[in-house]
Amino acid sequence: MKVYLDNASTTGVTEEVLEVMLPFFKEEFGNPSSLHKAGIRNKKVVNNSRTKIAELLNCKRSEIFFTSCGTESINWAIKGIASNNKTKSDIITTRVEHHATLNSCKYLEERGYTLLYVDVDKEGFIDLNHLRSLVSENTLIVSLIMANNEIGTIQNVKEISDICIKASTYLHIDAVQAICHTSLNINELNVDLLSISGHKFHGPKGIGLLYIKEGTKIAPLIHGGQQEQKLRAGTENIAFIAGMAKALEIGLDHLESYQERLNTYSRMFLKRLDEAKIDYLLNGPEIGEKRLPGNLNLSFKGIDGTSLEYLLNRKGIYTSTGSACDSQSIEPSHVLVQIKVPEDYINATIRFSLGSDTTFEELNYVIDNLIHIVKKEI
């Protein structure tokens, strides 16, 4: 049996999404910037997709800008605000962010900006009082992850937004892992910038978007033509834009049942480990509304995580030891270090990320093998 439990890294394109995309690879390949009929037809596709996405996220269509991925969106949000700023010099983030955020902030720190880190607790939640103490009249931007890609912690963005509004500072939210996995209403969140990536919710790889609130002063990251309201140059990826719009529509339509099923599966997973008397830690918050559905970041005592992942892989079980973007590192995850996972557990950490296609039978197969491997390794 082959069981894919690495959905936090990427998801497969569904048949419905693929069907929407296919015409634009061959028949409808016109450049949306061209003034002939083939170009005009595809310009309408881009515009209609933008309108649909804006409606689904509850924002204005003029506030949606298409990019190549979540990483580009995050880089643009942080560097674009900095490039357009001449007075403020403080940037605030946490040490549990995705590396797209961490490295963008460090890039600016090397160029004279002051980088400040908000504390998080043992479950990965931001210390809101510490954030209040850090923001000042010199704070340019606060950039935070809405739902942690490793341990599933879902932040209270509305409270964070209220703090930033009072401090008159920009707020960027990395929603790459959150979208289609937890509720997200941009108008209610009241943020200035928000990043999304299509391949995290059964859209294609190579497409993302950046929400830029009307009135936000931001410089382009990519220069060239007049596309995306003159703020993001490059010929639009029509097929992927249409695919992402469809995937978003489907994902949000099934969100409630998706959350309920994956939370039920997650509780069953942990119950079986408890019954087998496996010594493990669940990193991040408990299963429920403050944790991404289907995210199980587990640390096992006294064994090697790389060996555990290898043995699971031999059984056809595909998991991750952390973020796929940093899978070549032999060091413990920076997120696990920050939430202070004990040393005798941290090196045996596996992220099981369930998805919309995960079945009850597959999960039992995974648990059976996991219990057998862990007991044998100990």
Q: Does the annotation mark 325 as catalytic?
A: yes
* Both structure tokens of 150: 């490793």
Burial state string for 288-324 with b = 16 or more CB within 10 A and e = fewer than 16: eebbbbbbbbbbbeebebeebbebbeebebbbbbbbe
Q: Are strands 208-212 and 193-197 parallel, antiparallel or unpaired?
A: antiparallel
19 φ, ψ (degrees, to nearest 5): -60, -40
* Per-residue burial over 171-190, b = 16 or more CB atoms within 10 Å of its CB, e = otherwise: bbbbbbbbbbbbebebeebe
**Cβ distance 209 to 65 under 8 Å?**
yes
Structure tokens at 337: 């270090």
Cα 320 from Cα 307, distance rounded (Å): 12
CA contacts within 13 A on the Cβ side of 262 = 27
Largest separation between any pair of C-alpha atoms in the chain: 68
Q: What are the catalytic residues?
A: 325
